[in-house]
Amino acid sequence: MPTRVLIVDDSGFFRRRVKEILEEDPMITVIGDAANGQEAIDKSAELKPDVITMDIEMPVLDGIKATKKIMEVNPTPIVMFSSLTTEGAKATLEALEAGALDFLPKRFEDISQDRDEAKKLLCQRVRAIAQQKHSLKKIAPKVKVDKTEPVKSKPTTVTAATNKAPVRIGKSGGVDLVAIGTSTGGPLALQTVLVDLPANFSKPIIIVQHMPATFTPAFAKRLDQLCKITVKEAVDGDKLQPGVALLAPGGKQMLIEGRAGSATVKIIDSEPSLTYKPSVDITFRSVNKVFPAKTLAIVLTGMGADGREGARSLKTQGSEIWAQDEESSVVYGMPAAVVDAGLADNILSLDDVSKAIIKRI
């Protein structure tokens, strides 16, 4: 059956444009539109769409408040359209915390310089999140942490994942670095994982999240406010330190250089031909040169297969690879690529990842 979409935007021109693009895909049907957040709430209850595309700034009721209400009364996968500005980044992150599953730039040329490719990606994202109603569940609480106070580690019992593959926590061998890669659904997934790590976490963490350049500073700041560990956007020359998570800056590539114990970050411009900026594969491959057999690499929810080849490189040298399970993923693309390639040592539900990391470290 075609994916049924409700389009929400105060611009009639934009609504028509999105409708034309989506309906070029025979597997998508636009069943209605709305000009403000209140109309979105009413029509989502009436029409029961599979997916809602939502603008943020609208009269009567904005997209963030509308998203919160829809997730309360009629949970529906929502894609936010966002401006690629600092204020747009903050608002988009608030929308994701309110329950939206994904976001896309409102200017389609920011999705891809190739117009046909931009249309294709929009349709792919809409179809992908339509399958994710099971992911519409509780959102991690927004709790600011006083980092001056000592924080005790929580119990580290691990619940087995519900996937077909067994969970094998407790592989022997040391871990000197935790490396995480993610994309669609990643902002909330990372928050879920990182908020439970203790302030005295003994290893450095690096994170690659597919995200525009204007979004990563705000995202790193928000995570830092919520977490006991320190989270910051990586800059060239940053040293890897215990209890510090470095987020790859959007639009660039993040490499790890040096040697274990004194490793540093190198930020470089990305080749224009590369799809992902930053790329999990590129970062993971660089990690393998510095921390062979000493890395815990975790691939979380995301569309595509970025991370698979980087994980393969790490695996050949003896590092440990974990993947998020299908049930808890917003989009089971990136972790599925790792699992299907036979690279995953463990397959975990998102709610179990932080506990498993603490136990493993």
12-32 confidence digits (pLDDT tens):
999 999 999 999 999 999 999
| 210: nearest Cα among 243, 250, 159, 151 | 250
Question: What is the reported pTM?
Answer: 0.84
pLDDT for the residue 86: 79
pLDDT for the residue 133: 65
pLDDT for the residue 87: 84
44 is catalytic: no
pLDDT for the residue 152: 37
Low-confidence winner among 89-103, 279-293, 338-352 (lowest mean pLDDT): 89-103
Give the SS3 label for residue 31: strand
Place of tokens 């690659």: 208
183 is catalytic: yes
Ramachandran area for residue 243 (φ above 0: left; ψ -120 to 50: alpha; else beta): left
Catalytic residue among 306, 313, 349, 354: 306
Catalytic residue among 25, 196, 210, 286: 210
pLDDT single digits (tens) 132-177: 765 565 343 444 555 654 443 333 333 333 343 444 444 556 899 9
pLDDT for the residue 135: 53
Q: What percentage of the chain exceeds 90 in pLDDT? A: 71
pLDDT for the residue 134: 54
The answer, yes or no, to whether residue 258 has pLDDT greater than 80, is: yes
The answer, yes or no, to whether residue 104 has pLDDT greater than 50, is: yes
pLDDT for the residue 266: 98
The answer, yes or no, to whether residue 272 has pLDDT greater than 70, is: yes
pLDDT for the residue 275: 86
- CB 223: neighbour CB atoms within 10 A? 24
d(CA 262, CA 87): 36
d(CA 284, CA 261): 18
d(CA 201, CA 357): 10
Half-sphere CA count of 148, side-chain side, radius 13 A: 0
Q: Where are the alpha helices (DSSP H) in 26-114?
A: 37-47, 63-73, 86-98, 108-111
Average pLDDT value for the chain: 88
pLDDT single digits (tens) 37-77: 999 999 999 999 999 999 999 999 999 999 999 999 989 99
pLDDT for the residue 173: 62
Q: Are 110 and 93 in contact (CB under 8 A)?
A: no
349 is catalytic: no
The two structure tokens encoding residue 150:
């000592």
Q: Which CATH architecture has domain 177-360?
A: 3-Layer(aba) Sandwich (3.40)
pLDDT for the residue 227: 96
pLDDT for the residue 168: 43
Low-confidence winner among 103-112, 179-188, 268-277, 324-333 (lowest mean pLDDT): 103-112
**Is it true that 3-135 and 177-360 share their CATH fold?**
yes
Q: Are 313 and 284 in contact (CB under 8 A)?
A: yes
What would the mean pLDDT of 216-228 be, rounded to a whole number? 94
The answer, yes or no, to whether residue 235 has pLDDT greater than 90, is: yes
CATH of domain 3-135: 3.40.50.2300
Domain ranges of the chain: 3-135, 177-360
Low-confidence winner among 233-237, 259-263, 278-282, 342-346 (lowest mean pLDDT): 259-263
Catalytic residue among 82, 135, 183, 354: 183
Low-confidence winner among 45-49, 59-63, 270-274, 325-329 (lowest mean pLDDT): 270-274
